[in-house]
Structure 1
């Protein structure tokens, strides 16, 4: 008896569409493997291993403390400058790191894209998830600083998951957009390092948001990282949550996330041709 064969026809997407989350879930094992591979590759043949996730932001914080805290006398709202800057560098390093990792994810895995089908979203998503380990490890330094400076966090810690969601949405949105652009425009890879350095000073990492002139703050708070950073500081320093800085950035983060998904989906059909 002749058996019927079933075929699935894979057609390129067209127009602006959202990501097929059901399909993405079917490839969860691939996502797990690529995330694990990214973590292992980052610390392969490294003497200090995951300790770099602590050393790098800690030394950057010390440099900022000397230059901006001691020499430039930047106002830190009465908070020890080392703690002030580290609580900002913690989420910022994750954001900036995910931009670089995700922007290069498609180019670095061009062989996979041209040889086998899978949801291309898996590549930038695995890069972003693999950086979460660094984010969690860096939390150890936060605990140490809180104990050293005898600072007690407040009820704002309950809102920390919301801030992390905003951080992830912003990272995913911008990361998906850059990864899709980097395949077609290789200039993105070269310009990204410079752009990330500029963006550092567009967020309240080395200074407080209150230092920004009032007439510019209505535009400044549209930066999603402003609300995230000030929210992190408020949560761990026992201060009232600055919702007036958080909610505008949340709206922008959602817009970036949706646009990133749709733009990635639109560009996905040409990845194999230009990768």
Structure 2
């Protein structure tokens, strides 16, 4: 495994190239180009705001629902985009893999980093909403780097697992879209967590055991509610994700020959 990690480190220039090419490819043929990095999450927020507030007439009186919504959707966009992209990353470069030896783990790694860069532009959109609605984060904002790190490790672990499995079970690609949709509605992205509590204590496990719900709620705690995030939940996510990540790196180093055969 040590040799495998050294091989990945030696190809840091290739990882950087894959990240840059991934960013350019997303809006290569569009007129607005990189401006879509800001416009896309903004339009996403406007659509759901119109649906929930204007059509359904559901807006919290306790806090700005627009800020609540933009944080949830921007973080969700990062999570869902990273999972979708990394799960198909090795298959996407199958032609290169069959010709040149490369550590296969660099592909889900590079795609996950690409979505992290996209998320940084989403942070700009969140900042615009915070300023527009007069919401000032407290000192708890110092926890933001830790929260981003936890989310990144979580996404890397999922990306490595799905990137490998998808090679052998191509149907996973179709199943993932439905699973992601389930997590979207099972997480407090467009709805408030308090609404779930009103249904009864037997439903609270939906958010308590949901890592995506813990992550999104922690972002809101830091950025709009001036409170500390769920450190226990985040630490559990970090420990489990780190263990999965280390195991998958070891698994890649021992079973990469199977990928060549499957491709």
TM-score (norm 2): 0.88
More helix by share: 2
Asked if 2 retains the 8 angstrom alpha-carbon contact of 1:61 and 1:86, the reply is yes
Aligned-residue Cα RMSD (Å) equals 2.3
Pick aligned residue for 1:206 from 190, 197, 215: 190
The question of 1:126 aligning with 2:110 is answered yes
- How far residue 50 of structure 1 moved from its aligned partner, in angstroms, is 1.6
User: 2:98 is paired with a residue of what secondary structure?
Assistant: helix
Counterpart check, 1:228 vs 2:215: yes
Larger-Rg structure: 1
Aligned to 2:38: 54
Distance, in Å, in 1 between the alignment partners of 2:190 and 2:225 is: 20
Partner of 1:271: 259
Q: Kindly provide the CA deviation profile for residues 216-257 of structure 1, in whole angstroms up to 9, marking residues without a partner as x.
A: 434632322222211111111142124255444444433543
Larger relative contact order (CA 8 Å, sep ≥ 6) = 1
Preserved CA contact (<8 Å) 1:113 1:271: no
CA distance in 2, matches of 1:114, 1:255: 29
- The offset of 1:76, in angstroms, is 4.4
- 1:263, distance to aligned residue in structure 2 (A): 4.9
Give yes or no for contact 2:78–2:116 (8 Å, CA) kept in 1.
yes
Secondary structure of 2:190 counterpart: coil
The 1:250–1:73 alpha-carbon spacing in structure 2 relative to 1, beyond 3 Å, is farther
For the Cα contact (< 8 Å) 2:116–2:152, is it kept in 1? no
Gaps of 5+ in 1: 1-16
Per the normalisation by structure 1, the TM-score is 0.85
Is the 2:150–2:234 contact (alpha carbons within 8 Å) kept by the matching residues of 1?
no
Q: Which residue, 148, 151, 163 being the options, matches 1:179?
A: 163
- C-alpha separation in 1, matches of 2:105 and 2:236: 27
